[in-house]
Structure 1
Amino acid sequence: MTRNTEISLRGVYDSLVARLQEVHYLNSVMGILHWDQEVIMPPGGGDSRAHQLSTLAGLSHDKFTAPEIGEWLTQLESAPESEFNDVERCNIRETRREYDREVKVPRQLVQELAEMGSRGHHIWVKAREDNDFASFAPFLEKMVELKKQWAHHIDPNRPAYDVNIDVFEQGFTMERIDPVFERLKAELVPLIAAIKDSDYKPDTSFLQGHFPLAEQKALGQHVIRDMGFNFDNGRVDVSVHPFCGGGDCTDVRITTRYREDNFIESLYAAIHETGHALYEQGRMQDQKALPVSEALTTGVHESQSLFWERMIAQQQAFAQRYCSLFAETFPEAFRNVDAHKAYEGINTCQPSFIRVEADEVTYPMHVILRYEIEKGLFDGSMQVQDLPRIWNDKMEAYLGIRPPTDREGVLQDVHWSGGAFGYFPSYTLGAMMACQFYKALEREMPDIRDHIASGNFKVIKEWLNRNVHSKGKLYDTDTLLKQVTGEPFNPSPFIAYLQAKYTAIYRLADQQAGR
């Protein structure tokens, strides 16, 4: 290769990087607008916000799908392997993947989806407040149809739902997810039933009462600061549905929500979203506006939030660390509560209507229910108008409870209002990955519980930064998991973890032996 050719290829790569950075910053603006919409925007701004997001989505789409992007990629892909390093090749590879998808979608459809997603948020909020699924149903029907059209443009030869899943979970399809979820149902439904029938119930009385919001806020900020959240590059607010968003890794915004009768919900929502935020803040700083730095998949992102929420904050060592702070913050409720009692109470298993309030044993059933409904909507075996009944029937079959209202049932989640079909599986796939990651950490640091009990979360954050956050999109999910844990995606550790933990908490082995 001649010197002129080398310079030319480097120039082409630099041109691609400059364009990708432009698109990134446009998308960052949309991220801030989405955050604003859910946190502080006045209700009357909804119509203008929909047009703003639609306009920006169109501009971003135009810049990213311009013909020169395809020409640059073709030139770069013809270069010798040695021409670019691993990071640069990842940027080229991921741009090609996204470009091939986006260039197939008409600009008008991109804008319509962005506008519908913005309007849909407000339609959903009002329908949820009014417990009125009928007012949300026409929008949902339209959104499903648009996402089917979108998927058909991208790949008419694949099931539309698989195309939607691929946005969030590259490498996973219905064919791969189905047997995993069927196994979960087979293992967890009996475990949930055994827990329900257990004679032993952890004391949760200290988790009920009046918990002033100011104290809850202070407690949450204390804990997430201990976890390593950088407030110079982030902030915490309140929203209807807790989330992590913002501009990029230098401006990460998380939200929680508060109930005066339940401080655990807000605290653990904050811990969960901080897990997401630490992933974002731990990304490659020098590549922050480029694909290689982005989170690998939604499932891997969820693995980080659930790693902190479930694997760290729901173990006894965490209760040992914070039980005295809980008692200092809420002295009436926590009088005579020790760390073990706090641990068992926080880990109580009780089927509930609301997904985000569900414990780690019943949570996967909430996800499986939504996954099965989304499959039905996309293959035509389910109709939107039937969803309240289908939802309630599945809740009764899987968890033994039936939602009394649609607000506590089919209307509870924000995802469908934004067209995020295929997202829900990532929550449970992420929980399984989190368990794999924690087992690897435990092998590497056998004294990890001592670190947690002493509040030394720095070693955990640095381990995650090194092994997961800084890897971005360099590897696919199975390769990353194999590098960190020694094996690709595997649900077995998660199932074994739940069975062992809750058999102990609910004394199931003792009761089975006594029968």
Structure 2
Amino acid sequence: MLTSAFHRGSRLSPIGSRIHALGSLIASGSTNIASRSLAVVTSMGGRNSKHQHPQHRNPSHRGKAAAVPTTAVSVPKEPAKAYEALCERLKEISTIHGINGLLDWDEMVMMPPGAAGSRGTQKAVLAGVLYDKETDPQLGALLDVLKAAPADSLDAVQAAVVRDAAREYVKRTALPKDLAQRIAKLKTEAYAAWVKAKTESDFSVFAPLLKQWIEISKEKARLIDPTKPVYDVLLDDYEKGATSARLDQVFTQVREGLVPLIAEIKSRGRKIDYSWMVGDFDTEKQAELCKQVAIDLGFDTTHGRLDVSVHPFTGGAHPTDVRMTTRFKKENLVEGLTGAIHETGHALYEQGRNLEYDGLPVNNALSMGVHESQSLLWERMVGLSRPFAAYLMPLIKARFPEAFASVTPEQLYEAENVIQEPSLIRVEADEVTYPLHIILRYELEKGLLEGTIPVEDVPKIWNERMTSDLGATPPDDSKGCLQDIHWSLGAFGYFPTYTLGAMYATQIYAAAKKDIADLEDLIRVGDFKPLKSWLNEKIHKLGSLHNSGDELMTVATGGPLDPAVFLDYLKTKYTDLYKL
């Protein structure tokens, strides 16, 4: 997961998606992707088709009192000078976000519990400084100059910087103060109601707060961009350039492909024994193994570190200072290892960013889904593959010779990829059933926002779809529609990024296999450099130059996101694994 924003689920053996629940940053405030790749969290706004700068608006309609310009200087009218001035401001903002990222890491890894109060004060002061700089009217004035400049006055990178900076500036200044205050209040109230409802397994306790979230989200979306569907406005906070129409197309195809595959595995698939994976594995040896694997994959310890935390995440202050964590269980070797591989994928993305554009929006991750694609590519496409099992087995046996003396790479591969039955809980789902969990949540939240699904019908629809799609009926609301924190925080539009990341990963890896001769043979012997270098050039260094995942996929893989590639990967892999 990305720094502080999301907490990781756990499971015994087969590994599903590794970013699972919204965490502290989403719960406590409004931040964004473009400001700092390492902190992917919720933004409180989006594009506004009727852009007004703060100085043209009533201060009472701002998220707080009108921002004071950080420096009282005139705004240059020449595009070249305006762009230079803009970059200076953006780099300063990025540096402050880096400081905040370091505080986040320290809070989750090193900070003594008694320092919580002072740390809260430190972060509040930083948040105030960031707000003033990110909403400075002179920043908006510089953007106005550059948006009005002749098209040939900016190259592609400069144009992307202006595009993304303007998008975030509008997002920062779009909401009236009273709405921002109501959103903050609702987050606290709805989260508390969700905790109570989940504890009591009673959706009716949470339903009134969910209704409030639906209405306030509609209000927010209309202020941001009344010309777009509400869901599309909210989705843009997480997956730049995506639309609900595109998601409908993609997810329909995925659902139609996976439902029969899962049914076939359940009815005809062989039973795979993975009970032998439970044991007593020294956590220090696990940590040593994870560090070696991370370094072998390409993690640069001169510009990063690996530690232990309650919730694995990747964070830090800068591409030259990337900090990731994992966690270990004595009885489960696989969880800590796959967690480390997942976080290494995030970390390699961060370390691979193009420092030529350091501190500028164009050098950040394009979206949450794209960032997740890099962690899932290494975790699933590489880490859960047969070639990787062959590379990994000697490393495991060297540290745990008795437990794994008779285990073969093929047995390890099979055990890591078992499909869970029943698949009730999203965070415990495998890579085959996980997308159906996401599609259900996407269709429900979109229907709620469109007014086609009443809040009261959520448990009924949830249970019906779980039964029809996954053959698993939740026994109660706690294990059903109340299992996720997202809706209690108003994070509508976030769920799709999980499965988009998985699909991006599959398509990117397929393209890499075409370009890199004998890629799987290289993985088998532990030579990951060609793949890492390919990803650096095709994904990492491009940052957010392109305006959507489809555009990036077209450049990197030769075509937009194609669900058929994802489905073919799953069908081929699991038909073979389960001997269908």
Same fold (TM over 0.5): yes
Q: What secondary structure, in the 3-state scheme, does the structure 2 residue paired with 1:167 have?
A: coil
TM normalised by structure 2 equals: 0.77
Aligned partner of residue 406 in structure 2, secondary structure: coil
CA contact (8 A) 1:117 1:418 kept: yes
Query: 1:438 — aligned with what?
Result: 509
- What is the CA-CA distance between 1:494 and the residue it aligns to? 0.8
Shift of 1:8: 4.0
Question: 1:474-511: CA deviations, max 9, x gaps?
Answer: 12332321222111111111111111111111111xxx
1:189 is aligned to 259
Q: In 1, are the aligned partners of 2:77 and 2:145 still within 8 Å (CA)?
A: no
Matching residue within 13, 29, 33 for 2:83: 13
Match of 2:569 among 493, 497, 502: 497
| 2:159 partner SS | helix
In terms of mean alpha carbon deviation, does 159-168 or 201-210 score higher? Answer: 201-210
Report the CA distance between 1:425 and its aligned residue. Answer: 0.7
User: Is the 1:279–1:301 Cα contact (8 Å) retained in structure 2?
Assistant: yes
Q: Are positions 1:424 and 2:495 aligned together?
A: yes
Q: In the alignment, residue 9 of structure 1 is paired with which amino acid? A: P
| Residue 506 of structure 1 pairs with residue 552 of structure 2 | no
Alignment length (residue pairs): 504
307, 312, 325: which one aligns with 2:382: 312
Deviations 1:177-209 (A, max 9, x none): 112212211110110111112252233132223
CA distance 1:223–1:111, change in 2 (3 Å)? farther
Moved more, 35-44 or 18-27: 35-44
Alpha-carbon distance in structure 1 between the residues aligned to 2:212 and 2:250 = 30
* Offset of residue 450 of structure 1: 1.1
Give, in whole Å, the separation in 2 of the partners of 1:163 and 1:325: 47
Contact 1:387 1:410 in 2 (8 A): yes
How much does 1:239 deviate? 4.8
Q: What is the rounded CA distance, in whole Å, between the counterparts of 2:446 and 2:151 in structure 1? A: 41
The answer on 1:448 being equivalent to 2:516 is no
- SS state of the match for residue 168, structure 2? helix
CA–CA distance in structure 1, aligned partners of residues 123 and 200 of structure 2: 26
Give the AA of the match of 1:370. Answer: R
CA deviation digits over 1:97-146, x for unaligned, max 9? 22233322235655765687689889878987887877776765555554
CA distance 1:463–1:204, change in 2 (3 Å) = same
Match of 2:67 in 1: none
Q: What is the CA–CA distance in structure 2 between the aligned matches of 1:502 and 1:96, rounded to whole Å?
A: 45
User: Does residue 90 in structure 1 map to residue 160 in structure 2?
Assistant: yes
Q: CA separation in 2, counterparts of 1:112 and 1:236?
A: 39
Q: The residue matched to 2:306 in structure 1 has which SS?
A: strand
**Pairing 1:274–2:344 present:** yes
> Cα–Cα, structure 1 residues 61 and 413, in superposed 2: closer, same or farther, change >3 Å?
same
The sequence identity of aligned pairs, in percent, is 47
Is 1:355 the counterpart of 2:443 in the alignment? no
Structure 2 counterparts to residues 56-455 of structure 1, below 5 A: 56-107=126-177, 109-110=179-180, 143-239=213-309, 241-351=311-421, 352-382=423-453, 387=458, 390-404=461-475, 408-416=479-487, 418-455=489-526
Larger CA deviation: 148-157 vs 162-171 = 148-157
CA shift digits 1:370-408 (9 cap, x unpaired): 212322342345566765565444333322224456665
RMSD: 3.4
Indicate how the Cα distance of structure 1 residues 454 and 297 shifts in structure 2: closer, same or farther if over 3 A, else same.
same
Pairwise CA distance, 1:10: 2.8
- Offset, 1:90: 1.6
Q: Distance in 1 between matches of 2:431 and 2:113?
A: 35
Conserved? CA contact 2:140–2:169, under 8 Å: yes
Higher mean C-alpha displacement, 380-389 vs 470-479: 380-389
Contact 1:25 1:289 in 2 (8 A): yes
Distance in 2 between residues matched to 1:126 and 1:238, nearest whole Å? 30
Report the Cα distance in structure 2 between the residues aligned to 1:417 and 1:40, rounded to whole angstroms: 29
CA distance in 2, matches of 1:51, 1:119: 22
Question: CA shift at 1:353, angstroms?
Answer: 3.3
CA distance in 1: counterparts of 2:316 and 2:489, whole angstroms: 17
Cα distance, 1:230–1:357 mapped onto 2, change above 3 Å: farther
In the alignment, structure 1 residue 466 sits paired with structure 2 residue 545:
no
- Residue 513 of structure 1 corresponds to none
How far apart in 2 are the matches of 1:58 and 1:140? 29
Mapped partners of 1:328, 1:126: distance in 2: 47
Q: Which runs of 5+ in 1 are unaligned?
A: 509-515
Q: Is the 8 A contact 1:50 1:115 kept in 2?
A: no
Kindly state the Cα deviation for residue 424 of structure 1 after the two structures are TM-superposed. 1.5
Tell me how far 1:240 sits from its aligned partner. Answer: 5.0
Q: Distance in 2 between matches of 1:273 and 1:436?
A: 20
One-letter amino acid matched to 1:456: D
Distance change in 2, residues 1:420/1:255 (3 Å):
farther
Distance 2:196 2:101 in 1: 22
Compared CA separation, residues 217 and 118, structure 1 to 2 (3 A): farther
C-alpha distance in 2 between matches for 1:274 and 1:14: 34
Moved more, 166-175 or 209-218: 209-218
CA distance in structure 2 between the aligned counterparts of 1:140 and 1:60, rounded to whole angstroms: 30
Q: Which structure's relative contact order is higher, taking Cα pairs within 8 Å and 6+ residues apart?
A: 2
